[in-house]
Amino acid sequence: MKKVVSAGLLMLVASMVFSGIPISAEAQTDPSILLKIASQAKREVNQQISSDSSEEIKRLFEEASHQVVLLERSLESDDLSSAKQHFLSAMKMFKRITQMISSDRPIQELQSTDAASSPQRDKSNNLERIKKFITTLKSIAKNQAVSFDEANRLVDLAEKQIRENDSGLGETLDDLRVVLDKIQKDLRKLASQTTDDRTIKFFNDMLDRLEKRGADQESLSDAKDTLSDYEQQIADGNYDEAKKLKNEITQLIRELYKATS
């Protein structure tokens, strides 16, 4: 009987232990994408090379192109290890070539060829980031009485100004920032009630848990008193005082938790 119980317990424990150990699964690279990326880089670099390019650049490009060919062959023969090596070698060379071409070309030419560096483009990116931020705020505010009308209007205006290369864009973006700050504050205010309730519930739960773990009764009593004060300050709208008390309870709970673990 004892043996049966022991065996059962052993199996139970073993299953618990092994279920707790995360299985390390290493994701595998899809080999075909290596060739796609390398080919794309090859095409781009090839377009940068002209008859005026140095012999060193041309030689490197030939070498890199050869690596791409070898990569393709490795993939055809399912030799993933070689494919990875050829991919990394090719990419290293393409980067080196671009660096060399970049350093050979005059600064003015680089600026004219770099589509991403204009001030209007920066503002356009700024607008893109703001739009993403609005989407996040909307996801929080879905059931709250917060209006996004003004923000939407300013986004439309900013988009129009980008299309028309209007110099008023900077000002619109500043206005948008102010409107979004206000929305964020409104959301915080609306969330504060729920947050306060959750905070109190969390502290109560923690204190119950600590009591069960045999925490020091005197310290527990202190924490409970502080929690009562905190609830009172919230009810009275004294948020600064409440914040101090919240930090105090947090510290008390942390110490009790350490002492009982």
Q: How far is the CB of 153 from other proteins (least distance, A)?
A: 20
Q: What gap in Å lies between CA 62 and CA 69, rounded to an integer?
A: 11
Residue of 4, 81, 129, 145 interacting with other proteins (CB under 8 A):
129
Q: Looking at beta carbons only, is 130 or 154 nearer to other proteins?
A: 130
Give 249's contacts (C-beta < 8 A, 6+ positions apart). Answer: 203, 223, 226, 227, 230
Out of 66, 79, 82, 98, the only residue in the binding site for other proteins (CB under 8 A) is 98
* DSSP track, 87-137: HHHHHHHHHHHHHHHHHHS-HHHHHHH-TT-SHHHHHHHHHHHHHHHHHHH
Residue 40 has which token pair? 């794309």
Write out the binding residues for other proteins, residues 30-89 only, by CB under 8 A: 30, 33-34, 36-37, 39-41, 43-52, 84, 87-88
Cα–Cα distance for residue pair 80/203, rounded to 1 Å: 54
Give Cβ neighbours of residue 69 (< 8 Å, ≥ 6 apart).
Answer: none
Site for other proteins in 130-169 (CB under 8 A): 130, 132-133, 136-137, 139-140, 142
Q: Which is nearer to other proteins, 153 or 209 (CB)?
A: 209
Residues 175-194 within binding reach of other proteins (CB under 8 A): 187-188, 191, 194
- Pick the stretch among 114-122, 147-155, 212-220, 221-229 that binds other proteins (CB under 8 A): 114-122
Of 82, 219, 250, 260, the one binding other proteins by CB under 8 A: 250
Token readout for 68 is 């791409």
Assess 91 for contact with other proteins (CB under 8 A). yes
H or E stretch covering 141: none
256 binds other proteins (CB under 8 A): no
Instruction: Answer yes or no whether residue 122 interacts with other proteins by CB under 8 A.
Output: yes
